[in-house]
Chain A
Amino acid sequence: MPKIEVNEDSLYKYIGKKITGDEFIKLLSVAKAEFDGQEGDILKIELNDTNRPDLWSAPGLGRQLRQYLGGERKEYPFFSMNGNVKESGSRIIEVDPALKDIRPYVTGFAVKGKSIDEALLKDIIQTQEKICWNYGQKRRSIAMGIYRSDLFTYPVKYFAANPDKEAFVPLGLDKKLTLREVIKQHQKGQEFGAIIAGFDKYPYLVDSQGKALSLPPVTNSNDIGAVVVGDKELFVEMTGTDIYSLLLATSIVACDLYDAGYEVFPVKTVYPYDTPLGREITAPFYFQQPVKADITFVNKWLGESFTVEEAANYARKMGCRVEVNGENIVLNPAEYRNDFLHSVDIIEDIMIGKGLTTFEPVMTDDFTMGRLTDATIFGRKIKNIMVGLGFQEMIYNYLGSAKDFIEKMNINGSHVIKIANPMSENFEYLRPSIIPSLLNSESVSGNAVYPHKIFETGKVAVKDPKENYGTITINSLGFLSADKDAGFNLVSSQLSAIMFYISVDYTLEEAEDGRFIKGRCAQIISNGKIIGIMGEINPQVLENWGISVPCAACEINLDLLL
């Protein structure tokens, strides 16, 4: 979830008034935002809604709060839409056909106005980072660049470049590098280069004279692409893989800059291939469709009896254009929002617009029967018997290492489930048995008074080709005694007591298992099925764990006894 830092005064300016303390924290909840602290004049705020990237900036957050407090909905006159395309003049981006399979979409717009100040520059850079990282899949589906539009001439060319032939000076460096060198040597290249490194040609943006703007999604050029405090004319560009999220991100940044006092000028992109919106798209572009909600459905969902007008009024507080059509609320999403998939999304705006705390909690009077699973009930029975036998119950983590689950246990481990992308080798396997967990306890508890009698009823999982998932999760009981005379006879008596009290007949069959001493290990068989194993732990295994007291252990598959 994105966290942003905003200048206090600039946020208050966007809200339209200064609000502090508890009142501010309460107001933030309207935007599903949490106050995360203050440092000097910087407010730290966490935004919980990952579908509302428009809230991840001071102008965007301020806009939402201002409207909730009764502020007028602002009109954004620079948007094109189907049947009403704004004039873009010479501001054109031309696209190379070869980009279709590399990074097909590019959008842009230009702004002019006052000299950019430090707070706004920081805000723009933060918006770029948050949108591209959290909404644009770490620049994979959205990357954004900002340029000094007085330093280049249109049309801008977006083309698939030979990575070894083309070269430019990337941001922060003072010498020319080929595109391939940028990916290998530049810090941003190492971070984001992987997105394009697999292609023969790289996406590349230059002006009509061939001057470099950027190597998207990696880095800008060090001149045209280096925006500094004091600049007055900017060009904003975004590239990506999904036209709708790209256009939305473009709209968000355009609205932010417009709210900050800049004039916005459309830019037209000309594609040599089809897009869902045609071959020419002028951005910022309003592509959103109206969404409807039937008032009966709204009331059912909210447990209320609003009139359609009341509901529409609550929704309006959240900043969208809302009309009433018979029994329907028709909502035209704001230019910077695309989070209305279904009527229920309107319902949330109605709920927040009315004020969450004004809804009265109601207890449902549906009668339902409470019940534990059979496995829980049986597990509790087992746990009580184990406690009666003098065992201490333990609860362990389920992830562990090859060392603990396989090597120390003296087993080949082909049935153990491995994680393909472990965070560390300490948490690389899912436990196939409770016994290693119990032995791990022994290995760290040598100073605890003996005897040790410990058990766990928990889950284990192993590969099982018969299953649809190729694996099976098992409710298992594992117990272990550690003492100077803990041996086969002890564990056999304990097993016998358990089986007596759960009324299960069983037989033992000598078994060979690397975890146990040969000749002192048995499979437990009931109803013709192997339901468990027990015996004296192999001294080699004890040595592997650094345990110096004899141990006897048993493990039973409880699911087979249910």
Chain B
Amino acid sequence: MDYDIKTLHPLEIKLLLNADEENISAENLMDKLAFKAGQYNQAFSWLSAKKLIEEKEKKQRVIYEITDVGRDLQKTGTPAEKIFNLVKEKGALTLTDISAALSLENKDTGAAFGQMSKAGVMALNEEKKAVITGEMPPLMKEVRALLDKGAAAAFASGELEENTLSKSEIEAMSTISKKRGGGSAPFRIVEREDVTYRMTPEGKQVKAQLKAQGVSGNEIGSLTPDMLTDGSWKNATFRSYNVNTPPARVLLGRHSSYSEFLDGVKDKLVSLGFEEFDGPLVETEFWNCDALFMPQFHSARDIHDVYHVAEPNKAKEIQQPYLDQVAEAHKNGWKTGSRGWGYNFDKEFTKRLILRSQGTAISARTLPNAKIPGKYFGIARCFRYDKVDATHLSDFYQTEGIVLGEDVNFKTLLGLLKMFAEEVAGATEVMYVPGYFPFTEPSVEIHIKHPVLGWFELGGSGIFRPELTEPLGIHVPVIAWGLGIDRMALMSLGLNDLRELFTSNIESVRLRRSK
């Protein structure tokens, strides 16, 4: 069977085509292939991994690399050279004077003088001054020659091959080179391994296949603007790619899937004729509860149900005439036909600032200026005094709104719920159950059969009590409704924990898809 030559890199192809089958090494290929230094080893390792070539023999060799110290000495001279030349020029000098003149450390001067004294080149006279007693020794000349050679080599490869050095050079090199941590010596000793490869039978077969198919390895990888400009693409062939190579990951900008879901709900409601409303996160007891005709002693208004703002803790004022009218409605029903709750409404308590606990607060503040007929909705962030877990959050979105009109009644309320069930939730069956909300009468809950989730409570609705609407200046019936869309959101995002909707984890948001 043919080898899949698309898996071969151009370097591999060129190497297979040009190598001496029995004797493959960087050295042998140097003339034929203009690879860069590291590319030979790259190609060898890829081809070995594919078992198209195999190792034939390994040869060790030693290389001396000149270090920064070496380059320095080559330029400025070794301490021994400097001392020898100084004394040659100035005559007898004490070692201290030499150190001072050459800016050498005393110990370095001492060490260099010691070497030369041992070699009989210099000695101390009777005045304890250094004098010259002989010629520059061969070893020192060899060192100088090596430094010059090394520096010259540095311009090319930076290396001196051991097998190019004479015996005496090697001897001299041993005094000025170190293996590891060679930074302090003029030369660093590096051991290299030269490997020679040969082609495997499969490699030979691939080579034949490459030849037969006329693949040269010179096929074009990337099409460049230059090629398009000069037309050179016309005579080129393009390298075939492996189309099954796993693609690299792209990081892209994206909307949050949860936000997409919420925007979808908003668009749906707008398409059904609803106008969006909004309100502040910090609310007063007045709009959050009192305007909704929830008595000030209602259990849902307990300190353990609503977050109070520490400072400032009260609004400066509550809008009139709504404050007085609401207060009267609580007290004795005002002009609403109700007997009221029969208690003394506290007008200071109602100014207290809290974090909005229900979206209905926005419905209430929308009423005084609402259009008739009118349909409104909001997806409002609300705050609850709940322990955070998979089904409870301290802040979350509530979807709710109102419908006002002369012809609004209990049957249009049912129609509205049916529309939500079908249009927003895609329900196949609905069931209505009497419900209870402190501010509506009558009240209904709608349970729906969702194609995936089965039966669940989609939401609740009711007609606002006249004690709520009349004091806010509204004299037509008003439907209040709320939808629990969180379960649908979780399903749509493939989640089962509400906390995940608001997660901080970038990767989990990045990878999230909505169904």
Chain A residues packing against B (C-beta within 8 Å)? 29-30, 32, 48-51, 134, 137, 141, 242, 244, 289, 300-304, 341-345, 347-348, 351-352, 356-357, 359-373, 375-376, 380, 383, 386-399, 417-423, 427, 430, 437, 440-442, 444-445, 447-449, 451-454, 459, 461, 463, 465, 468-473
Contact = CB atoms under 8 A, between A and B. Distances in A.
Given A344-B442, A398-B395, A417 B254 contact: no
Given A344-B466, A364-B408, A371 B276 contact: yes
A451 B274 CA distance: 40
Contact of B273 (A242, A367, A440, A444): A367
Contact of B467 (A301, A341, A367): A341
Interface string B385-424: 1111000011100000001010111111011111100000
B198 interface: no
Interface string B245-265: 000010111111011000100
A422 B307 CA distance: 7
Given A387-B255, A392-B506, A471 B373 contact: no
A148 B465 CA distance: 44
Contact of A390 (B253, B338, B385, B502): B253
Given A342-B336, A398-B381, A444-B504, A370 B275 contact: yes
B506 A420 contact: no
Interface stretch (B54-62, B224-232, B235-243, B277-285): B277-285
Nearest to A133: B299
Interface stretch (B10-18, B209-217, B429-437): B429-437
30 contacts: A30-B434, A50-B299, A137-B297, A303-B412, A347-B441, A351-B434, A364-B373, A370-B269, A370-B375, A372-B266, A387-B255, A390-B252, A393-B259, A394-B504, A394-B506, A399-B395, A417-B309, A419-B310, A420-B308, A420-B309, A430-B281, A441-B504, A441-B505, A442-B506, A445-B506, A445-B507, A453-B253, A461-B281, A468-B315, A469-B315
B463 interface: yes
B105 interface: no
Given A342-B441, A348-B442, A390-B253, 11 more contacts: A341-B340, A347-B410, A361-B415, A362-B414, A367-B273, A368-B273, A368-B373, A419-B355, A427-B394, A448-B505, A448-B510
Contacts, number: 275
A356 B317 contact: no
Contacts of B433: 29, 32, 356
B504 A437 contact: yes
A369 B269 CA distance: 11
Q: Which 3 A-B pairs have the closest CB atoms?
A: A303-B409, A470-B312, A303-B411
Contacts of A376: 266, 276
Contacts of A452: 506
B374 interface: yes
B254 A392 contact: yes
Interface in B276-313: 276-278, 280-284, 297-299, 302-304, 307-313
Contact of A471 (B282, B336, B509): B282
A274 B153 CA distance: 117
Contacts of A32: 433-436
Interface in B45-91: none
B459 interface: no
A303 B297 contact: no
A366 B395 contact: no
B271 interface: yes
B509 A394 contact: yes
Contacts of A395: 256, 258-259, 501-502
A380 B465 contact: no
A219 B283 CA distance: 39
A469 B284 contact: yes
B383 interface: yes
Nearest to A300: B409
A471 B266 contact: no
B441 A348 contact: yes
B415 A363 contact: yes
B287 to A, nearest CB: 10
A459 B281 CA distance: 8
A38 B100 CA distance: 104
A333 B320 CA distance: 35
B308 A361 contact: no
Contacts of A470: 312, 314-316, 353
Q: How large is the interface on B (under 10, 10 to 19, 20 to 34, 35 or more residues)?
A: 35 or more
Contact of B419 (A29, A363, A445): A363
B441 A473 contact: no
Contacts of A473: 280-282
Contacts of A364: 373, 403, 405, 407-408, 412, 415-416
Contacts of A440: 504
B513 interface: no
B282 A430 contact: yes
B321 interface: no
A301 B410 contact: yes
B303 A421 contact: yes
B337 interface: yes
A356 B308 contact: no
B444 interface: yes
Contact of A454 (B385, B438, B506): B506
A369 B273 CA distance: 5
A360 B434 CA distance: 15
B259 A368 contact: no
A550 to B, nearest CB: 16
Interface in B326-371: 333, 336-343, 353, 355, 371
Nearest to A363: B415
Nearest to A344: B441
Given A372-B276, A461-B281, A394 B256 contact: yes
A385 to B, nearest CB: 10
A437 B395 CA distance: 14
B149 to A, nearest CB: 43
B342 A244 contact: yes
A419 B435 contact: no
A393 B256 contact: yes
B394 A397 contact: yes
Interface in B471-487: 477
B145 interface: no
A344 B387 CA distance: 36
Given A341-B338, A430-B281, A459 B253 contact: no
Contacts of B30: none
A389 B253 contact: yes
B220 interface: no
A341 B309 contact: no
Contacts of A396: 502, 504
B316 A468 contact: yes
Nearest to A450: B251
B415 to A, nearest CB: 4
Question: B276, B386, B434 — which one has the most chain A CB atoms within 10 A of its CB?
Answer: B434
B435 A48 contact: yes
A447 B508 CA distance: 11
Nearest to B385: A423
Given A420-B308, A427-B394, A342 B337 contact: yes
Contact of B405 (A48, A356, A366, A375): A366
Given A459-B381, A468-B316, A29 B411 contact: no
Interface string B425-452: 0000000111110100111100000000
A71 B331 CA distance: 37
Nearest to B412: A364
Nearest to A34: B433
A419 B353 contact: no
Contacts of B275: 368-371
A29 B504 CA distance: 41
A366 B407 contact: yes
Contacts of B436: 32, 48-51
Nearest to B307: A419
A347 B271 CA distance: 32
A449 to B, nearest CB: 7
Contacts of A345: 441
